[in-house]
Amino acid sequence: MATIACQSSSSMPLSFLTPRLCLQNTPRRSIKSISKPRPNRFNRSPNLPLLGSTTAAALERKRLTTPMRTGALGTKKGMTAMYDPDGRRFPCTVVQMDRVQVVAHKTRERNGYFAVQVGSGWKHPSNVTRPLLGHFAEHKVSPKRHLVEFKVKDESGLLGIGEIIGASWFQEGQYVDARANSRGMGFAGGMKRHGFSGQPASHGTSLTHRAMGSAGQSQGGGSRVYPGKKMPGRMGGHQVTTQNVKVVKVDNDKGLVVLHGSIPGPDGCWVKLSDAIKKPWPDIPTSVLGAQSALDPVNSLAS
């Protein structure tokens, strides 16, 4: 009898080895919400669109704010004044373009985006590194002192390599964005650099009238100074963009572009000029030859 009991018990599988049954346990009593479900910020639902994290999606998002044509480089010569037809005097800035030439292209197939590399000025070959000399020699362009890249919308904005961009690239009455490095002012305090009001002028303040004051908490804030705290330091010397600057006058023979108002940077600095992105695109041809032909009737009337 003992042997029979052992055989029967060994033939039955153990309870923890049997697979569990997946039973749907639905509660009998439940409260149904009458409000709509909250939107899920994670892409877990089949109804949500796919995340646009690719390079092509990023270029598509920037399509409306990417200029259709390239910009140009110029030297800030200084400021002067002009008069409008009503006799009112207004300030203006003179920018001169010196041997601005297309050096290279960047395409979406090779680099992931469309851009035009523009060079300006001239540099002696003995002062140029060999990799850059090979870059200029490959495209049959003389060594340039400055190289700048301007993104364009598509391949229609790619100018031919070696084409010269003159002052006629811009038209009187259009708006441009001017970018340049601001004038360096050295080490400045908090009042000059960030506009702090300073300490009281009296009532016990001793030798700290222009001091910054407290830089952080002792308790509750980690007993530290937060990153990005406005403090004294180097002021100026970084790129500043002035948008929607109107072109007052263009002199193609002398390479001068006169802009309304002031632009960043000291006299003699290099300025990047491009079509304003917050204004309608100008009705100007995207090629150098087209721009020159558009100005021929104007030049004939002026002469």
Main-chain dihedrals φ then ψ at residue 279, nearest 5 degrees = -125, 160
pLDDT for position 170: 94
Edge-to-edge strand list for the sheet holding 115-120: 101-106, 115-120, 146-151
DSSP string, the chain: -HHHHHHHHHHSPPGGGSPPP------SS-----SPPPPPSSS-STTSPPP--SHHHHHHHTTTTS-SS--EEEEEEEEEEEE-TTS-EEEEEEEE--S-EEEEEE-HHHHSS-EEEEEES---GGGS-HHHHHHHHHTT----SEEEEEE-SSGGG-PPTT-B--GGGS-TT-EEEEEEEPPP-EEE-HHHHH----S-SSTT--S-TT-----S-SSSS-SSPPTT---SEEE--SEEEEEEEEEEEEETTTTEEEEES--SS-TT-EEEEEE-TTSPPP---SSHHHHHHHHHHHHHHH-
Q: What is the pTM of this model?
A: 0.72
Residue 10: the pLDDT is 53
| Tens digit of each residue's pLDDT, the chain (303 residues) | 445 444 545 565 565 555 555 555 555 566 677 777 776 666 566 666 656 777 778 888 888 889 999 999 999 999 999 999 999 999 999 999 999 999 999 999 898 899 999 999 999 999 999 999 999 999 999 999 999 999 999 898 899 999 999 999 999 999 999 999 999 999 999 999 999 999 998 888 888 999 998 888 888 778 889 999 999 999 999 999 999 999 999 999 999 999 999 999 999 999 999 999 999 988 876 665 555 554 454 445 444
Predicted local confidence at residue 46, as pLDDT:
65
Quote the pLDDT of residue 120.
Answer: 94
